[in-house]
Structure 1
Amino acid sequence: MRNLTDFLLFIVLAIWVAACQQSTLIGEDLIDEDNTQVQEIDTLRVETSSLLLDSIYTANASRMLAGAFADPYLGKVSAQCFFNLDSVDIFSIEDDANLLFDSLSLSLRHDYEYPATDHLQNLAVYTLEEKLDDEVFYFNHSVGPETLQKVGVTTFNTHSTRNNRFNIRLADDLGRALFEVAKKSDELDIDHVIQGMSIRQEGELAGQSVLGFPTDSIYLQVHYHDRKTDEKGSVSLKLKPALRYNRLLSDRGQTALRNLTQRGTAVSSSQTNAESYIQAGVGICTKLDFPTLRSIRQNRKISVNLAYLDIQPIKSSYQGSDLAPLENLYVYSPTHKNTLKQTYWSGSEINPVSVQRTVDALTGNSTYRIYLTDYISDILNQDADEYTGILLYTSASSTGINELGRVVLGSGQHPREAAKLHIIFTVIK
C-alpha cells in the first residue's frame, strides 16, 4: 500500500513540475490574433552623408599628437601639438663655476600611432613666439602661435620607441640659456628664454604616422656635469596644465571628399562612391537618414517590436593596410546646425551610446549593429513630417581629441557592404 501511495505521489509531482515549466504569456487571452499581424521589413532606403563638424575642442588633451600620413580615402592628415612649459617644480641647480652645461633634450614617449606600423618617423621641434593664452579656447583647426625657430629634428624607429622613453637633442644655445636660468634659483621665470614649444611632421608623409605622447611624459631636460668630480645631473621643465592643444587637419583636395569644405555641411554618399566617412579629431562624421521610413505606416496603427541598423566598413578600405577601422562608434543626435548633441536615447552628452565593431569569423566581414527601436517607434508615431537623422562619430568627450582613427562605411546603395535597416513590427488592424 505504501508503494502505491509513493507511486501516485510521484506521478502528481511530475505533472506539477511539467506544468510549471510551460511558459505562459500574461494577457495572451486578450490578444485577438485575427486583428494583429507581425511583419518584418529590411528594404527601406538608408541614406548616408559625410558631415564636417563645426569644431572639435582639443585643448587640455591627455595626449599630444604630432606627425602626418597619407590616406587614400581622406587625403593628407596631419597633427601638430602646441604647449607651454611650467617651472613650478624645482628648476634650479647650484650656482657653481665647476658645473658645466652638456645638452638639452626633449624627453618623451609615445603610446599611440596611426597607422600602426614599424617605420622610421621624422619629427621636428619648434619654439613659439608667444605663449598659449589661458583665456582662449583652442580647437582642432585653431592656428595657434607662430613658431619661432626649429630647435631640434629627429628620425627614429617607432618599434624601438613605442612605450619607451626617448630623447630629442635640442639646440645648445637654448640649452645654455636655460642652464643659466636654472643656476639663478631666485629667478625662475623662463619666459625671456622660451615661450612654449610645438612638435610637428618633418619631411615627406610617405610611410609616416601620427604619434601620441601622454602629456605627463613630455618635459625638457637640461643635462650638466661637475668638471671636478665628473658627477652628472639634470633639471626638468614639465608641460603646464591646461595650456596645450592639438591642431588636427586634413587635405582632402584629391579625394572623393574634396567638396567637403564648409563646417556644418554634409556631402551625400551618392557623390562619394556610395561611401561615407568618419575621422576622429578632424571632425568628419557620418549622418544617417531614413527618408522612406513613414511609408510602412499606410494609415495603420503600428507597434515596433525591434529595429536595428547594420552598417559595414568597406573591407577594401583597410585590408592590406595599417589603416584599421575604429573599433567603436558613438551615436549622437544632430542639432539644427548639424553639430553633436546628446544621443537620442542615452539622455547624456557625457556618455554617448557606444557601438562596437563585430567581425564574422567565417567571412571576416565587419559590422556595427545599432539598435534603434525607440527612435524608430517615436518617428512612426509622431505627426510631424520632418525629423532629424542620427550622427555617428567617435567619443567627442575623450577619444576624439586623442586619436585620428577612421572608418569608411557603405551606404544603403553600396554594391557590396550596403547599410540595412531592419524593422519587426506588429500591425493592429
Structure 2
Amino acid sequence: MFKENMRIDCLFLLIVVTAMTACTEEPNTIDSDFFNEESFEITFVDTLELITSTVQFDSLPTSHTGRLLFGYGEDEKLGKIKSTVFFNVGLDSTYELDQSISVYDSITLFLEFDGYYYYDTLQPQGYSLYGLKEELQFREETGLLYNTSYSELPPASYLEDSLLGSLSVRPRPSRDEGVEVRLSDEMGEALIQLAFEGSEIMSDASEFSEYFNGFVLVPDSLQSNSIVGFTPTSQLRLYYQDKSSIPSQQKYLEFSIGTKPYFSQITYDRTNTKLGELITLEEELDSDVTDNELYIQSGVGLGLKVMIPNIKDLIFSSDDFFISSAILTLRPVNNSFDGGTPLPRDVITYIIDEDNEILGSLEQQLLFQEDLELGRDTKYEANVVSFIKSQIQIDEFNENALLLTPPDSIFRSTVDRVYMGDPESSYQMELRVLYISLIED
C-alpha cells in the first residue's frame, strides 16, 4: 500500500486537523493531552485492499409503495426484468343509477403515469389484464407482499381463463396523463346492472371487496420495451351515457386501486449473463467473475458489497493515532448510462455481517458528482470513517463489510441500476484514508 508520511510541529498539526475535521462533516474529538511537545506523522493511504462483489437480496417488500411498477426490459448485463402488477379495486362511494336515463357505454382500466420510466419508451408496450381466481394473500408473518410473491406459481394457477382486456401503445410518461385499457363489455354490463338494481354490492365496501378477487396486469415480453410507474390513484372506470340532458353526457363511476391491496411482482431472468448463478442473499459474486464490474439494481435487489480486510493491520502499525477521513470513491462504467437508463442519484451505505445481514447504516448518502461537461469523471463518494472507527474498536476478527444500494423507498419501487468499476477496473474504485499518529522522539 502507498503511504505519504511527514513530521510536523503541534501548531501546524492543530490547524490541519481542524480543517480536515470540518471537511469530513463529522465531529471528531481529540483530547488536549494529545497535543504536546511530541512530533506527529500524517499518513495518507490510497491503496487499501478492497474485496468487492455483487450480492442478491432474497426479496423486497413491494406492496403499497406508492407506485405500480409495470413493464419489461432487457438489460445487456443484468438480463431480462419484468414487472407485473397485482391489485384490487375499492368502492369509492355509493353507486345507484336510474336505468331509464342511464345507458352502459364501456369499462376501462385507467392507469395514471407518475413520471417514472426506465429503458426504452420508444418501443410499444403491451398491457394484458386478467382476473384473479383468489384474493391476494399477504405473507402472514409480515403482512406484506414482495417482489417475489406469487412468482413460484404458474400463471394459470392464479389467473382466470379469460382475458379481460389488452392494449399495445408507446408510453409517454413525461407527456401523457396515462394509459386507458378497454375491458370486457360482459364485465362492464354485469357491474352496471348492479348499480341499476341498487345492489348492496354497490353501496357496501366489504360486499364490493368480495365481488372482485383482484386483477393482474401483465406486460408483453416479446421484445424489450420499458418499465414505467403508475400512481395508486389509477382507477377502474365504468362509463355510461346520462340521457337526462340533451345532448346526453358521458359520465363514469370510479373504483380506485390505492385503497386496496396492490404490489409489483418484479422478476428477472439472468440466463446467459455473468450473474446467472446469483440467486439468494447467502450468495455473492466476486467482481473478477463479472469482468471487474459490480452492479446495483433496484426492484430485483442487487447490491454492491465492499470488504476492507486489512484495515486493522494498517491502524495498529501505530499505537496513538487519529483518523481524519476515509473516502470511498466509486466510478460508474462510461457509456453504461443514458437518458433511458440514468444513474440513481441517491445511494446509501449499510454495514453488513459475514452473512450479508444488515447491522446498521451510515448516516450520510453517497455524494453523487456528475461530469456534465465531458462525462469522464462521474463518481460517487462516501465518507466511511465511522465504519472504520467501529471496526477498530472490535477486538475479535470479523468479516463485516459495506453494502451499497439506493434508499429503501427507491430500492423497492424502481429498477434503477448502475454498472460500477472495481479496484482493478479502468473505472477504479478506491479508498483513501488519512490518519495522524504520534511519534516518540
**TM class, shorter-chain normalised?**
0.7 to 0.9
Aligned length: 394
> Which of 259, 262, 276 is the aligned partner of 1:241?
259
Distance 2:44 2:35 in 1: 20
Distance 2:419 2:116 in 1: 21
Q: Percent identity?
A: 22
Is the CA contact 1:53–1:338 (under 8 Å) kept in the aligned structure 2?
Answer: no
Determine whether 1:199 maps to 2:217. Answer: yes
- TM-score computed with the length of structure 2 as normaliser: 0.82
2:169 corresponds in structure 1 to 156
What does 1:242-281 align with in structure 2 at a 5 Å threshold? 243-281=261-299
Per-residue CA deviation, residues 361-418 of structure 1 (Å, 9 max, x unaligned), is 554221110001122123234422224101101112x11222110111111121x111
Distance 1:166 1:253 in 2: 32
Unmatched tracts of structure 2, length 5 or more: 1-14, 19-29, 152-156, 202-206
1:81 corresponds in structure 2 to 85
* Letter aligned with residue 318 of structure 1: F
Which moved further from structure 2: 70-79 or 24-33?
A: 24-33
What does 1:3-402 align with in structure 2 at a 5 Å threshold? 31-32=35-36, 35-94=39-98, 96-110=99-113, 111-115=115-119, 117-133=121-137, 136-143=143-150, 146-148=158-160, 149-159=162-172, 162-188=175-201, 189-190=207-208, 194-206=212-224, 208-216=225-233, 218-226=234-242, 229=246, 230-239=248-257, 241=259, 243-301=261-319, 302-318=321-337, 322-335=340-353, 337-343=355-361, 345-346=362-363, 353-364=364-375, 365-396=377-408, 398-402=409-413
Distance 1:401 1:30 in 2: 47
Is the CA contact 1:300–1:427 (under 8 Å) kept in the aligned structure 2?
Answer: yes
* Letter aligned with residue 165 of structure 2: G
Measured after TM superposition, the shift of residue 83 of structure 1 is: 0.7
Is the CA contact 1:130–1:196 (under 8 Å) kept in the aligned structure 2?
Answer: yes
3-state DSSP class of the match of 1:328? Answer: coil
Is the CA contact 2:127–2:168 (under 8 Å) kept in the aligned structure 1?
Answer: yes
Is the CA contact 1:310–1:420 (under 8 Å) kept in the aligned structure 2?
Answer: yes
Query: Do the aligned partners of residues 339 and 386 (structure 1) sit closer, same or farther apart at CA in structure 2, a change above 3 Å counting?
Result: closer
Unmatched tracts of structure 1, length 5 or more: 1-22, 347-352
1:5 corresponds in structure 2 to none
- Cα root mean square deviation, aligned: 2.6
Measured after TM superposition, the shift of residue 427 of structure 1 is: 1.9
- TM-score computed with the length of structure 1 as normaliser: 0.84
3-state DSSP class of the match of 2:172? Answer: helix
Measured after TM superposition, the shift of residue 316 of structure 1 is: 3.1
Distance 1:235 1:399 in 2: 33
Query: Do the aligned partners of residues 360 and 203 (structure 1) sit closer, same or farther apart at CA in structure 2, a change above 3 Å counting?
Result: closer
Query: Do the aligned partners of residues 192 and 101 (structure 1) sit closer, same or farther apart at CA in structure 2, a change above 3 Å counting?
Result: farther
Measured after TM superposition, the shift of residue 30 of structure 1 is: 7.0
Measured after TM superposition, the shift of residue 205 of structure 1 is: 2.7
Query: Do the aligned partners of residues 332 and 103 (structure 1) sit closer, same or farther apart at CA in structure 2, a change above 3 Å counting?
Result: same
* Letter aligned with residue 44 of structure 1: L
1:349 corresponds in structure 2 to none
